[in-house]
Structure 1
Amino acid sequence: MFAHLTSLRFTLLLVLALQVTVVPTAAAVENTGNDTLPQSKVIQFFDTYCVSCHDGAGAEAGLDLSSFDSGDQLAAEIDKWNRIADRIADQQMPPIDSEIPTLEMRTATVQWIRDTIHAAVCDDGIAPGGPMLRRLNRTEYANTVRDLLGIQFNAGHELPEDGAGGEGFDNAAETLFISPIHAEKYLDAARTALTHAMSDPKDRKSILVSVPTPDTSPQAAAQKVLSKFLPRAFRRPASDEEVEQYLQLFRQVYEEDQSYDSAITFALEAAMVSPKFLFLWEQPHTETTPIPLTHYEMASRLSYFLWASMPDAELMQLAAEEKLHDEAVLTQQVARMVQSRIDDRGHRRDAKVREFASSFVEQWLGTRALGREFKPDQSVVGKLNSELQGGMKYEPVFFMEDLLAENLSLLNWIDADFTYANSSLARHYGIEGTFREQPRRVDLPENSHRGGVLGMSAVLAVSSFSHRTSPVLRGKWIMETLLGSAPPPPPPNVPTLEENAAEGSEKRTLRERLELHRADAACASCHAVMDPLGFGLENYDVLGRWRTEEQGMPIDSTGTLPDGTTFEGVAGLKQQLMQRKDAFIRHLTSKMLGYALARQLTNEDQCVVDAISQKLAEDEYRAQTLVLEIVKSLPFQYKRGQTPPLNQEMNDGQ
Structure 2
Amino acid sequence: MLGHARSILMQVAVMGSVVTGGIGHAQTTVDARWKSEALPLLETYCYDCHGDGIKKGELALDRFDSIAKMQQNREAWKRIRDHLKHRLMPPLDEDQPTMAEREKLLAWIDDAVFPVDPKHPDPGRVTLRRLNRVEYQNTLRDLLGVEVNVMDLIPPDDSGYGFDNIGDVLTLSPAHLERYLEAARVALDKAVKPGVMPPPETKINGRDLEGNGQRSEEGHYLFKAGTAETLYRPLRPGKYLVTVKACGTLGGDGPPAMELKVGDKTLHEWKVDAPMDRPKDYSHEIQIETKEPVSIGVSFTNDFYDEHHPDRSRRDRNLMVNAITITGPLDGPPPPKPESHRRIFTERQPGENDRTYALDVLTQFARKAFRRPPRDGEVTRYLELVSLAKDEGVEQGIRLALEAMLVSPSFLFREEPQPEPDNAKKIHTIDEHALATRLSYFFWSTMPDERLMELASRGELRKNLPAEIDRMIADKRSRQFVSNFTGQWLRLRDLSSSLPAKRAFPNFNPRLRESMRRETEMLFSCVVREDLPMTTLLDANFTFLNEDLARHYGIPDVKGDEFRKVELKDSHRRGILGQGSFHLLTSYPLRTSPVLRGKYVLENLLDTAPPPPPPNIPQLEPPSRHGDQRSLREQLVKHREDPACASCHALMDPIGFGLENFDATGAWRDRENGKDIDTSGELADGRKIHGVDELRKALVEDHRSEFHRSVATKLLTYALGRGLDWYDKPALDKIVADTEAANGSSRAMLRAVIDSVPFQNRRGDS
Q: Same fold (TM over 0.5)?
A: yes
Tell me if 1:592 matches 2:715.
Answer: yes
Match of residue 158 from structure 1: 153
Tell me if 1:376 matches 2:370.
Answer: no
* Equivalent residue in structure 2 for 1:256, among 391, 408, 420: 391
For normalisation by structure 2, the TM-score amounts to 0.70
Match of residue 298 from structure 1: 435
Task: Report how far residue 506 of structure 1 moved.
Answer: 6.4
Task: Report how far residue 598 of structure 1 moved.
Answer: 0.5
Partner SS state of residue 692, structure 2? helix
Higher strand share: 2
Tell me if 1:269 matches 2:403.
Answer: yes
* Equivalent residue in structure 1 for 2:144, among 133, 142, 149: 149
Q: Quick check: 2:583–2:597 contact (8 Å CA) kept in 1?
A: yes
Q: Quick check: 1:230–1:238 contact (8 Å CA) kept in 2?
A: yes
Task: Report how far residue 96 of structure 1 moved.
Answer: 3.5
Partner SS state of residue 370, structure 1? helix
Unaligned runs of 5+ in 2: 1-25, 194-335
Cα distance in 2 for residues equivalent to 1:439 and 1:586:
31
Cα distance in 1 for residues equivalent to 2:628 and 2:430:
67
Unaligned runs of 5+ in 1: 1-30, 341-350, 644-654
Tell me if 1:168 matches 2:159.
Answer: no
Tell me if 1:228 matches 2:364.
Answer: yes
Partner SS state of residue 283, structure 1? coil
Higher RCO structure, 1 or 2 (CA under 8 Å, sep 6+): 1
* Equivalent residue in structure 1 for 2:694, among 569, 572, 582: 572
Task: Report how far residue 137 of structure 1 moved.
Answer: 0.3
Cα distance in 2 for residues equivalent to 1:614 and 1:73:
32
5 Å-filtered alignment, 1:80-479, equals: 80-99=76-95, 105=100, 108-109=103-104, 112-113=107-108, 116=111, 120-122=115-117, 125-130=120-125, 133-165=128-160, 167-198=161-192, 202-210=338-346, 221-239=357-375, 241-253=377-389, 255-258=390-393, 260-286=394-420, 289-326=426-463, 329-339=464-474, 351-372=476-497, 374-434=498-558, 437=561, 439-445=563-569, 447-479=570-602
CA deviation string 1:325-374 (max 9, x = no partner): 33xx112211221225xxxxxxxxxx2112112111111122211113x3
Q: Quick one: structure 1 residues 575 and 67, their matched pair in 2 at CA, closer, same or farther if it must change by over 3 Å?
A: farther
Q: Quick one: structure 1 residues 240 and 487, their matched pair in 2 at CA, closer, same or farther if it must change by over 3 Å?
A: closer
Match of residue 26 from structure 1: none
Task: Report how far residue 281 of structure 1 moved.
Answer: 1.2
Structure label with greater radius of gyration: 2
Q: Quick check: 1:466–1:542 contact (8 Å CA) kept in 2?
A: yes
The alignment-based identity, stated in percent, is: 38
Cα distance in 2 for residues equivalent to 1:405 and 1:514:
42
Partner SS state of residue 378, structure 1? coil
Task: Report how far residue 116 of structure 1 moved.
Answer: 2.7
Count of residues in correspondence between the two structures: 593
Bigger shift: 298-307 or 129-138?
129-138
Match of residue 28 from structure 1: none
Q: Quick check: 1:422–1:436 contact (8 Å CA) kept in 2?
A: yes
Cα distance in 1 for residues equivalent to 2:683 and 2:669:
23
Cα distance in 2 for residues equivalent to 1:132 and 1:45:
40
Match of residue 640 from structure 2: 518
Q: Quick one: structure 1 residues 145 and 586, their matched pair in 2 at CA, closer, same or farther if it must change by over 3 Å?
A: same
Q: Quick check: 2:127–2:168 contact (8 Å CA) kept in 1?
A: no
Match of residue 348 from structure 1: none
Q: Quick check: 2:657–2:681 contact (8 Å CA) kept in 1?
A: yes
For normalisation by structure 1, the TM-score amounts to 0.81
Bigger shift: 315-324 or 60-69?
60-69
Q: Quick one: structure 1 residues 510 and 122, their matched pair in 2 at CA, closer, same or farther if it must change by over 3 Å?
A: same
Task: Report how far residue 601 of structure 1 moved.
Answer: 1.7
Task: Report how far residue 388 of structure 1 moved.
Answer: 1.7
Task: Report how far residue 476 of structure 1 moved.
Answer: 1.4
Cα distance in 1 for residues equivalent to 2:108 and 2:492:
33
Cα distance in 2 for residues equivalent to 1:417 and 1:503:
40
The aligned amino acid for 1:191 is R
The aligned amino acid for 2:155 is P
Partner SS state of residue 565, structure 2? strand
Cα distance in 2 for residues equivalent to 1:302 and 1:380:
46
Match of residue 652 from structure 2: 530
Cα distance in 1 for residues equivalent to 2:387 and 2:62:
76
* Equivalent residue in structure 2 for 1:490, among 613, 617, 632: 613
The aligned amino acid for 1:381 is F
Task: Report how far residue 623 of structure 1 moved.
Answer: 1.3
Task: Report how far residue 313 of structure 1 moved.
Answer: 0.7
Tell me if 1:546 matches 2:668.
Answer: yes
The aligned amino acid for 1:279 is F
Higher helix share: 1
Partner SS state of residue 352, structure 1? helix
Task: Report how far residue 91 of structure 1 moved.
Answer: 3.5
CA deviation string 1:417-475 (max 9, x = no partner): 12233343232223334465454333222x42222221222122112222211111111
The aligned amino acid for 1:164 is S
